[in-house]
Amino acid sequence: MALFLGSSSSQRFDQWLKREDGRSDVSSPSTPRLTQLAVVVGMSSIDYARQHSMMGALRVAARPSDMAFYGAHEGVQFTKRLGMLTQKADAHLCPRCVEKDLDHPKFSWFRRTHQLQGVDWCPTHRTPLLKVRGSDPWALLPQHWMERGEVEVLKLSAADLEPNGFVNRFVRIACTLLERTRPLAVGRLAGLLGDRARVLGLRTSQGGVKPNLSDLVLRRAPEEWLMRHWPELMKKESGGYLFGLDSALISRTVPSTGFAYATALATLWGLPLQVQQVLEQIEVEEANVPERSVKRRNAKDHAFWFGGFWEEYLEQRGRVRVIAPKLGVDPTHLREKFNQLGLPSLHDVASAPRWRAFLSFEAGVPLSDACAAEGVSEAEVLELIRLSCARVANAAKQVQKSYVVRPEQRASR
């Protein structure tokens, strides 16, 4: 933004933020920069954090008391600390992405996926990433650094670019974490990781005779990748406990790094879809926790959200702006509630190809085939899959049927 506005100093940019928003507190020290940017582009800080920050990859798990959505007011301290950070120390770009950007919309931008630790090539083009050499890499656009020649190619071997099950899996999992809306409960995540580790014959304690997670990573991950991203692993003895990685299976109270969790998930499961199902399982379990406490205080509220509300959701096709006034709640709060319950808006079920592809996938058609048939990207459908609870597919079918009515029914309506 500062580049396009011609703002040469942070102070001038802060003044512009204040003028655009028209509020005296937007550039105050207590307001996270991420929240300021969200305000001037007309987005909620929660939506902005999910789409334009790396909090999903940086803060994968949290204590039960810190489970607010990324960018939410309740987690303002985390937003201030992590909202503008990347996982890598340097800025990276893909030359083919830059070339595509310059075709349309005529300027380039940095991708979040290129800044993920452990990702050495572009997930879209499988092209080796370039590292920006400039001292202030975010001050210019990727095209400018390429024009200046101030980029260097990552030192990858031919083997690094060949298809590798572990690395491919890691990249997809890391990108999936990046799209999440809030952290997972650290205890539940550690519990599921530990259960899976025990199935594979690993130990889940600091001491013992069985191999641990870090031993399995050494066997499954390519040596070149490990030397770049887990060099400490290359030095440890067999059976040795590596706190930065092995604690992801053990600690139920102190979260590990996002990179450690991504490595663990890519190691313990063979398919990214299996990992996705694990994350969804935690989401479903966690979404019910606050409702159980609500039930003790107010059984009527609990019964409504898990009973009567369903009819309202179907009747209004999940449209937040229609439902919120009827319930007397703030639309932002209702959207958060929808996310907790796994309920997307159904307003475009009858017309959107992504919904048709989603329903085909739910019916057993492979995801790639369903997306190809409807001409949509897998990312669009995966967003629905990540959000949706088990009943959403049936709800979507019911809504679709409501659009297809007999002529006499249409007339009576």
Buried-exposed string 8-30: b where 16+ CB fall within 10 A, e elsewhere: eeeeebbebbbeeeeeeebbeee
- The two three-digit tokens of residue 253, written as one number: 């109270």
φ/ψ of 30, rounded to 5, equals: -80, -10
Per-residue model confidence (pLDDT) at position 211 = 96
Buried-exposed string 187-220: b where 16+ CB fall within 10 A, e elsewhere: bbbbbbbbebbeeeebbbeeeeeebbbbbbbbeb
**Polymer length in residues for the chain:** 413
Cα radius of gyration (the chain): 23
Per-residue model confidence (pLDDT) at position 402 = 66
- The two three-digit tokens of residue 38, written as one number: 């969200």
Per-residue model confidence (pLDDT) at position 319 = 82
Per-residue model confidence (pLDDT) at position 267 = 97
Per-residue model confidence (pLDDT) at position 155 = 86
Structural domain boundaries, residue 99? 92-156
Site of tokens 């990552």: 154
CB 129 within 8 A of CB 108: no
- The two three-digit tokens of residue 125, written as one number: 């083009």
> Domain check: are 310 and 344 in the same one?
yes
> Domain check: are 246 and 308 in the same one?
no
> Domain check: are 198 and 269 in the same one?
yes
Whether residue 290 lies inside any domain: the answer is: no
> Domain check: are 20 and 47 in the same one?
yes
Question: Is residue 22 helix, strand or coil?
Answer: coil
Whether residue 134 lies inside any domain: the answer is: yes
Q: Helices 378-387 and 367-374 meet at what angle, rounded to 10? A: 120
> Domain check: are 219 and 152 in the same one?
no
Whether residue 180 lies inside any domain: the answer is: yes
> Domain check: are 349 and 269 in the same one?
no
> Domain check: are 204 and 143 in the same one?
no
Indicate the residue among 156, 177, 202 that finishes a domain.
Answer: 156
Instruction: Provide block-wise average pLDDT over 10 residues at a time, the chain (413 residues).
Output: 82 80 58 89 90 97 92 92 95 97 91 97 95 92 96 88 91 95 93 94 93 97 95 93 94 94 96 88 68 38 59 78 76 72 75 85 82 88 67 69 52 45
Indicate the residue among 135, 156, 177 that finishes a domain.
Answer: 156
> Domain check: are 152 and 201 in the same one?
no
Whether residue 280 lies inside any domain: the answer is: no
Whether residue 308 lies inside any domain: the answer is: yes
Candidates 61, 400, 10; CA nearest to 259 is 61
Indicate the residue among 58, 82, 106 that finishes a domain.
Answer: 82
> Domain check: are 139 and 241 in the same one?
no
The structural domain count of the chain equals 4
Per-residue model confidence (pLDDT) at position 10 = 76
Per-residue model confidence (pLDDT) at position 122 = 96
> Domain check: are 28 and 76 in the same one?
yes
Whether residue 278 lies inside any domain: the answer is: no
> Domain check: are 302 and 394 in the same one?
yes
Site of tokens 């039960």: 64
Per-residue model confidence (pLDDT) at position 5 = 84
Question: How does strand 184-185 pair with strand 61-62?
Answer: parallel
Question: Is residue 265 helix, strand or coil?
Answer: helix
CA triple 207-278-394, angle to 5 deg = 165
Whether residue 142 lies inside any domain: the answer is: yes
Site of tokens 């050499």: 133
> Domain check: are 75 and 139 in the same one?
no
Whether residue 87 lies inside any domain: the answer is: no
Candidates 346, 340, 336; CA nearest to 312 is 346
